Structure 1
Amino acid sequence: MTVHSLPLAALDEQQRRTWRGRLQAALILLVCVAPVLASYWAFYVARPAGGGAAYGSLIQPPVAMPDVVATDLRGASVPLRSLQGQWLLVVAGPAACDAACERRLFMQRQLREMLGRDRERIDKVWLITDDAMPKAELRQAMDTPPAVTMLRLPQKVLAAWLVPASGHALADHLYLVDPRGDWMMRMPASPDPAKVQHDLQRLLRASSWWDKPGRPAR
């Protein structure tokens, strides 16, 4: 039996079921993204008291975290998307971390602590772009609680997700990723910690009604 031979009533019911399915899928998508969109609106449009222009560069549209598998320093596989569910403050670059890299990692730690009780909503991540091993004293510092999540991800994979400002290298910035796994902000090279803190506080305040500490059960 072809579609053309179906009774009109049956054809109408089939079309209604198709449209209901599409509407339900659209509503589910809206429910998933609405909280994030609302917090961005509150941050960039409503601008709560003490606001003003953001210090970091807003990424429009946000760039979804790639569905790839990274490795930890022991060589174990770690799906990158397992990091979803928390805000992520990301440093990226080679294992041979120079003085500027060490300053970014130190700033990453200090910024999280400066957030007070909201610090539990943000994780520190170092994405290492080569196969070398960071020096022992740096690894020890990164493992000091609350530890930095250190994962290896090839440069070409990472470069398709996080993009530096014109004239800069990938390693020059701090990158902010929202709990959905979307890269949504890039901090300037050699940033002012107080201004970065202000951006983070405003974003966390704007998203506090839907984002809570810890990753939801999967």
Structure 2
Amino acid sequence: MPGSKSSSPAAKPGAFDQPLGLTVHSLPEPREAVVVDAQRTRRGRWKMLAVLAVCAAPMIASYFTYYVVRPEGRRNYGELVEPQRPMPALAATDLAGKPVDTATLKDQWLLVSVAGGACDAACEQHLYLQRQFRESLGREKDRMDWVWLVNDDVPVRDALKPALQQATVLRVDGAQLAQWLAPAPGHQLPDHLYVVDPMGNWMMRFPAGREQADAAKVRKDLDRLMRGSAGWDKPGRPE
């Protein structure tokens, strides 16, 4: 306004003459830093181990169930083989006469029958039951193969071959086979169905001539094996 005097406020003497205040944070001692880093590393490792344990728990439980808390004999219809017998290097060919490495049978559960190429009525019944038992596993059936081991040189009838399209049929040396699989006292190899685990170990034998009459018991045993190994056994063979 006219006649008025405008001016900035006078600065107080010494207002900007005071030194700035700085807060200095002390640095950790080298020894203290090492201790802190070590603690962080340990915590990180424990967390990682905890995550791994959670992820591995189903597999560990499955191994424990199958190999440690194995069902007692009275709970099984099939007879457990003790000790288990590893699959030997059998001389084998397919029905076309092509050599087959029996090690390729591993990594799957096997439901095995043994019979000569003539395949009498008992042999045909076993082949039928093998297919039915595998199908009864439902979505787990891809974890089991049904196998017919032909233990002589008799040709397999052409009429039988269409029913064997989903089976593995191998002609093996009978003497070598007898060093691996064995029947119950008083019986012959073709009298039984045999179970081989994915590692190639013969581990169970079903009672001779009773599989059809006691089909529900056989299915229960097979289902128990599938459930007990679910954590570590997967469908199909690794490529």
The TM tier, using the shorter chain, reads: 0.7 to 0.9
Using the TM superposition, give the Cα deviation of residue 157 of structure 1 relative to its aligned residue in structure 2, in angstroms.
Answer: 0.7
Within the candidate set 92, 102, 118, 1:96 is matched to: 118
SS in 1 for 2:100: strand
**AA in 1 matched with 2:222:** L
How has the CA–CA distance of structure 1 residues 37 and 139 changed in structure 2, closer, same or farther, with 3 Å as cutoff?
A: farther
**1:12 aligns to what?**
none
How has the CA–CA distance of structure 1 residues 102 and 36 changed in structure 2, closer, same or farther, with 3 Å as cutoff?
A: farther
Q: Is 2:185 aligned against 1:161?
A: no
**AA in 1 matched with 2:152:** D
1:189-204 pair list within 5 angstroms = 189-190=208-209, 191=211, 192-204=214-226
Whether the 8 Å CA contact 1:89–1:175 is kept in 2: the answer is yes
Inter-partner Cα distance in structure 2 for 1:61 and 1:172: 21
**2:168 aligns to what?**
149
**1:186 aligns to what?**
205
Inter-partner Cα distance in structure 2 for 1:36 and 1:91: 27
How has the CA–CA distance of structure 1 residues 107 and 74 changed in structure 2, closer, same or farther, with 3 Å as cutoff?
A: same
SS in 2 for 1:162: coil
- Structure 1 consecutive aligned stretches of length 4 or more whose deviation exceeds 2 Å: 34-38, 40-43
Identity %: 50
1:37-61 Cα offsets, whole Å, 9 max, x none, are 641434416x9xxxx6100000001
Whether the 8 Å CA contact 2:110–2:196 is kept in 1: the answer is yes
1:31-180 pair list within 5 angstroms = 38-44=65-71, 53-143=75-165, 147-180=166-199
Structure with the greater alpha carbon radius of gyration: 2
Inter-partner Cα distance in structure 1 for 2:178 and 2:88: 11
Whether the 8 Å CA contact 1:40–1:206 is kept in 2: the answer is no
Whether the 8 Å CA contact 1:43–1:202 is kept in 2: the answer is no
Whether the 8 Å CA contact 2:91–2:173 is kept in 1: the answer is no
SS in 1 for 2:203: strand
Using the TM superposition, give the Cα deviation of residue 160 of structure 1 relative to its aligned residue in structure 2, in angstroms.
Answer: 0.4
1:51-89 Cα offsets, whole Å, 9 max, x none, are x61000000010000023310011101011110000000
Whether the 8 Å CA contact 1:96–1:135 is kept in 2: the answer is yes
Q: Name the TM-score, length of structure 2 as normaliser.
A: 0.70
Larger deviation, residues 131-140 vs 165-174: 131-140
Whether the 8 Å CA contact 2:90–2:173 is kept in 1: the answer is no
Using the TM superposition, give the Cα deviation of residue 155 of structure 1 relative to its aligned residue in structure 2, in angstroms.
Answer: 1.0
How has the CA–CA distance of structure 1 residues 37 and 149 changed in structure 2, closer, same or farther, with 3 Å as cutoff?
A: farther
Inter-partner Cα distance in structure 2 for 1:159 and 1:35: 31
**AA in 2 matched with 1:150:** V
Q: Name the TM-score, length of structure 1 as normaliser.
A: 0.77
Whether the 8 Å CA contact 2:62–2:228 is kept in 1: the answer is no
Whether the 8 Å CA contact 1:83–1:181 is kept in 2: the answer is yes
**AA in 1 matched with 2:123:** C
Using the TM superposition, give the Cα deviation of residue 153 of structure 1 relative to its aligned residue in structure 2, in angstroms.
Answer: 0.5
Inter-partner Cα distance in structure 2 for 1:37 and 1:130: 40
Where structure 2 has 5 or more consecutive residues not aligned to the other structure, the ranges are 1-60
**2:46 aligns to what?**
none
